[in-house]
Structure 1
């Protein structure tokens, strides 16, 4: 895809923000096309049209645009950014083998162990809930992918990875970086001062590359693929790195949004408590319980609809050799506010998923051949975390020195991977028996890092 098509993408993020301020109502129709410098940029708001383009015509609409900033930042190994073709298919095949809907069930033991560890961490130091959640998600992925058990929260490797995730969220914002609009700028010498993207690359490139390289270099092994492919080691390393940086960032963001929603909408928390108590009695949840917990499932669906962890799809385009230069941008956040999900789309209302015809918000995970390959892994991880937390904790606003609730803005930073602005809340065990459930000892035979 010619580099000049990047210029129209510079308006994409601002356009999406404009729509957000207009309560997500497009000016006309389900597709808006803006012609800039002779190049069409197409914004898609309808999941029916998206499915037509990206599922029925997936062979044509599955490519990515060549982001100079992503390459400069060390993200060339990320599956989500690889051009559509044979090299991408090798990665997709490997990822699917390890993270399909059946394969992820074999990781339940690891996830259950870590969900119990998360509960203990929240009991012992509840003010650090955000860091505990981030650490727990990372530990699961490290254990599943590399059989490495990271013991220390806040260790050097984990800090490096979360620095990479922070950078990842801003690297992919369309139009944020001048070097994506004018790729020739990537040749500006490093010694020229005051170049923002150069400073960004200096901070984030090494942590981003380390995310894929460090654990792989330590282990030098991963589950063997059937019918090994050429360059198998490179594929495995890229798959593992993508699993971490994508899975950790999105699952962590959704977990934080779930906690935020429960505090802003306390009536939903009461319903979670009631259903979990009725179904589980005096035990903690397993994945097998999900089919008997419809409100918990609806709550998770609403978290993904209300605040999707990837609100703007990565811009797509036609194959590199196609003469038609066009960019397609999915506004997932708008699609998830379609009238089919009921009225008041800005409100958090899990009951909307009990209405006939309202399906799981799969748009949260993307469309077609570029659908998130880790969606099953992320979905059941989030279920175990959320169901476990609300089985034993009541989450309420934190009090100030005068006994008043500390306000929670509910705002979030606009980035490719948004998370809520920092907020304070209290995790209170719901009863002595709930506290007792938390205090369980687990051990691990995994390799330590």
Structure 2
């Protein structure tokens, strides 16, 4: 009874906001009508019929929205429009159109739309990928790009392989929790790269999941019923929750940043971390900080290029002074590293889970990949050194991301000024989506698109084939790279996705046979719903079960590889 009364109260409180929104919409229509009347231009994109005030919000599902967008693309063509209260969308399902708008006109379509339930994300400093293009975004993105590129040169310092050895042991003894272990694996890799603290891996994954929930259509209802966000803070449960969640996220990142800084001062922080890279730049007075913030010249520290782990103790005092900074710069840097770390978890965890699902459902491809791995690797766990010799495994990974995209809606772009395309006016603020789910189901590029078929990347008769197979397919370059976004907002993580997915996939199939779970009561396979996901903006499949059988002769090798983590396992 109390819950019903609260819901009713919230709806009544939202009515004034809804009325104001309706009035604004009507005035906007009148203005548009007047402009059309004076200019004579009536060109518009096709799309479903739009209703007054609400647009099409009544039949846009909060879960699996990409399926509706695919349905409309089949009906209205490769570019169409729809709307919800306070937002107009242009939906694209053709690569050439997406390239024209989001790449060639990237100077216009590189803004980010407002996510109602994330506070101040467009301004900064917490969510780099969700900011508008301003000095804070440029500074953070430039630094993250250089840090990721430097780590890739060393294939992420062996952290991917090291954490994979641990994962295999964990899976050996606790296979039923493979979904949790997969996300923690991703979290541990990123936590080692960021701060040299793999113990944060589980929390890293959980935090990433909470953040994704808050930025998704399937998350807080205020992301779709936006007037509810205008309720007074004292009675707004969504606002209260978000204030608390973001404060905890910031504090966690800041605490890890400061802990790493103290290790840097003591000469204990490894040089293969992004925190070390940032602090070293501070010593050299080249580290980015909050834009428009005066930065006093740092002292001339001798031997600044030397690794702190080998630096002379007499330098400690000078380094301590060089690492002092205002709290706002600490917040800027800790969020820059923290968000880079978070994105590295959420963009890889889902595809790795889908890969395990795909292998269980398509044993013929699992066996082909295993035969290839066995021939190349024998009794040793695969590493990045085996990349060129395992094209079947890479094709299975590439096809997984096409078959079940981790970002099926695509990441939204926003027009930063008025534009025109094919005679149609696109107003500033319009949200442009290149729907990844639909792009991946273009029958001309992907024949029989609903079928999982890695041969698309191995057989020259397919449009997506590229040679040589020692290089292609991969996640760094070549065909189907739209999975990483478009233009100036392209994801910076292709290299770590390429390394982490390759090592994970190869090592998993080297060690285990992956099968559907067998019910112990009926003896029948437990069905797998390949469409059941958390429906976040970046997906993970949920609530499916698999069986893992260690392959002959691999148990002892797995345990030997895990000794560094678990002692004599």
Deviation at 1:259? Answer: 0.5
Corresponding residue SS for 2:549? strand
* Aligned counterpart in structure 2 of residue 171 of structure 1, from 211, 214, 229: 214
Match of 2:185 in 1: 136
Deviation at 1:191? Answer: 4.1
Structure 2: distance between partners of 1:11 and 1:313 = 22
* Aligned counterpart in structure 1 of residue 342 of structure 2, from 245, 251, 271: 245
Deviation at 1:59? Answer: 1.3
Corresponding residue SS for 1:223? helix
* Aligned counterpart in structure 1 of residue 399 of structure 2, from 302, 309, 328: 302
Judging changes above 3 Å, is the alpha-carbon distance between structure 1 residues 18 and 167 closer, same or farther for their aligned structure 2 residues? closer
Where does 1:235-384 land on structure 2 (aligned, <5 Å)? Answer: 235-319=332-416, 324-356=428-460, 357-358=463-464, 359-384=478-503
Where does 1:6-25 land on structure 2 (aligned, <5 Å)? Answer: 14=61, 17=64, 20=67, 25=73
Residue range with higher mean Cα deviation, 100-109 or 422-431: 100-109
Structure 2: distance between partners of 1:354 and 1:11 = 44
Match of 2:130 in 1: 81
Residue range with higher mean Cα deviation, 87-96 or 421-430: 421-430
Structure 2: distance between partners of 1:251 and 1:175 = 20
CA-based RMSD of the aligned residues comes to 3.3
Deviation at 1:236? Answer: 2.9
Deviation at 1:199? Answer: 6.7
Structure 2: distance between partners of 1:56 and 1:134 = 36
Deviation at 1:144? Answer: 0.7
After superposition, what is the alpha-carbon deviation per residue over 1:263-284, rounded to whole angstroms, capped at 9, x for unaligned? Answer: 1111111111111112222221
After superposition, what is the alpha-carbon deviation per residue over 1:278-298, rounded to whole angstroms, capped at 9, x for unaligned? Answer: 222222111121111111111
* Aligned counterpart in structure 1 of residue 92 of structure 2, from 36, 44, 52: 44
* Conserved? CA contact 1:398–1:405, under 8 Å: yes
Say if 2:26 is the partner of 1:26.
no
Judging changes above 3 Å, is the alpha-carbon distance between structure 1 residues 429 and 126 closer, same or farther for their aligned structure 2 residues? same
Alignment length (residue pairs): 433
Match of 2:250 in 1: 209
Larger radius of gyration: 2
Deviation at 1:385? Answer: 0.7
Structure 2: distance between partners of 1:308 and 1:38 = 28
After superposition, what is the alpha-carbon deviation per residue over 1:285-319, rounded to whole angstroms, capped at 9, x for unaligned? Answer: 11121111111111111111111111112321122
Say if 2:527 is the partner of 1:407.
yes
Match of 1:427 in 2: 548
* Conserved? CA contact 2:155–2:499, under 8 Å: no
Match of 1:62 in 2: 110
Structure 2: distance between partners of 1:39 and 1:45 = 19
Structure 1: distance between partners of 2:188 and 2:539 = 21
Corresponding residue SS for 1:68? coil
TM-score, structure 1 as length reference: 0.85
Corresponding residue SS for 1:164? helix
Say if 2:297 is the partner of 1:228.
no
Greater RCO (Cα-Cα under 8 Å, separation 6 or more) = 1
Deviation at 1:402? Answer: 3.3
Deviation at 1:61? Answer: 0.9
Structure 2 gaps, min length 5: 1-20, 26-52, 262-274, 291-328, 420-426, 465-477
